[in-house]
Amino acid sequence: MNRDISSVPVVVELDSVPDVLAALESVADLPDVVLLESRIDREEVSRFSFLVADPVAFVDDVESVTGADPFGRLRGLLDPFRNDRVAGLPPFQGGVVGLLGYELGAAWETVPRPTYDEFALPVLAAGVYDRVLAWDHVLGRAWIISQGFPETDLRGRRQRAEQRAAELLSRLEESGQSVGAAEEPPPSSLEPEQLAPLWPVEGHDGLFSDFSREAYLEAVDRVIEYIHAGDIFQANLSQRLLARQPAPARELYARLRQRNPAPFAGYMAHADWEIVSASPERFVSLRDGLVETRPIKGTRRRPGDPEARVLVQGELFESEKDHAENVMIVDLLRNDLSRVCRPSSVTVPLLCGVEVYETVLHLVSQIRGVMREGLGAWDLLEAVFPGGSITGAPKLRAMEVIAELEPTARGPYCGSLFYVGCDGSMDSSILIRTFVVRRGWVQCSVGGGIVAQSDPVAEFNETMDKAAGMLRALV
């Protein structure tokens, strides 16, 4: 690590904490905007938010992520700018931010691709960002942190860092326009007949699925047959919901964050597509050598009545089926982390705890470990991606079953929005409760873990429960 750059980053604490949506609008005309936002009052997973735009480099081609080192280009772009983290500031202070699509994992596991992929997003799209606007929601403070790369000499790097910080500060001071006010959703450039076969979703005008209800029930039965045959223990099966885009993507994000607040919310814009996410689930994090993952397995609709909510919470906690589903994934993730963590360091501080969100209750576990010497964030991502909670067990065979039964590529769904900092730290979400916006259409996939005890009708209903908070943002 280069120790000769002690005068960077440039850090500017803001006199007043900017509104997140106003800050997002202030950089909306810049390329490759990414917002990682925490939106609930739960400090262990929801304290910091980060906004970046206008990267110094960007990677979004499939060829760069195949082969023995799928993250080689990003690793090579970031390594020259490694820097110690400044104490007392939010943990991400510049580095790589972007998207890992689900099919990235399928590519290096040699899993066949589904028949349809009309949205055709890259399996990896990530930039190297030299400046970040960071919020600490617990302290009620915000900073611009500017690293000054790609300059390499101390003076040039300091000058660039100051210039880039001043540019962002000026934008924030001039911001204030309403979200999405200057935009209209683009006309649809794909007609339904150009998409995968679609079926109307009962009770939701203008909403389509790539499964009919009957076909989804049959697919659940097929997964159960694989389980009884001993092929797998569990697989995550999803359906893709599709609607015409009703509003600009940033307006959809504003609606979603209000109606379905989440600890791992996010927005990303690149080329002609955008991602709008209200994910409740951390994929994996790394800070000061400590690794953590928090899988979600087990979901119930949240009743409005407090007494009914307590009853549902108890029912979820006591559910043998949901416990079995969760524990299987905990075991899978313990094995994944053991590939890169010190021997005997992987522990489970939380097993099957109930967490309450705006529209649902979730059964959540926490697995931790200590990274082995000489390994870092990229090694961790390669070891654990895609997440076990959205594939199944054993992972590779579950992914093959998913590819067989799901007609459409998942794309960003069940992938991740992530950062890897200049200091080697990282954090990431599982992209569930997520819209993908492109060509005048919005897609949102929802799924659930299928085990031997699964009831197909209940599994279908669970997917629609998960979609409820998302669908409210479309009207």
Q: Where are the beta strands (DSSP E) in 29-188?
A: 34-37, 48-52, 57-59, 95-100, 124-129, 131-136, 141-146
User: Residue 66: exposed, middle, or buried by beta-carbon count in 10 A (0-12, 13-18, 19+)?
Assistant: middle
Q: How far apart are the first and last CA of the chain?
A: 50
**Could you tell me the two tokens for 400?**
């093959």
Place of tokens 């873990």: 449
User: Residue 350: exposed, middle, or buried by beta-carbon count in 10 A (0-12, 13-18, 19+)?
Assistant: middle
Which among 25, 281, 459, 462 is annotated as catalytic? Answer: 281
Report d(CA 299, CA 301) in Å as an integer.
7
Q: Do 240 and 212 form a contact (C-beta atoms < 8 A)? A: no
> How many CA atoms, within 13 angstroms, populate the side-chain half-sphere of residue 53?
22
Report d(CA 213, CA 460) in Å as an integer.
8
Say which amino acid occupies 187: P
Q: Do 201 and 207 form a contact (C-beta atoms < 8 A)? A: yes
Which among 292, 297, 406, 466 is annotated as catalytic? Answer: 297
Q: Which residues contact 348 (CB under 8 A, 6 or more apart)?
A: 330, 334, 365, 366, 367, 368
Report d(CA 372, CA 363) in Å as an integer.
29
Catalytic residue list contains 321: no
Q: Which residues contact 15 (CB under 8 A, 6 or more apart)?
A: none
Specify the 3-state DSSP secondary structure of 183.
coil
Considering only CA atoms, which of 138, 23, 132, 43 is closest in space to residue 86? 132
Catalytic residue list contains 37: no
Q: Do 359 and 468 form a contact (C-beta atoms < 8 A)? A: yes
Q: Which residues contact 461 (CB under 8 A, 6 or more apart)?
A: none
Place of tokens 């699925």: 209
Considering only CA atoms, which of 179, 193, 188, 310 is closest in space to residue 252? 179
Specify the 3-state DSSP secondary structure of 133.
strand
Place of tokens 């998960």: 466
What is the set of active-site residues?
Answer: 281, 297
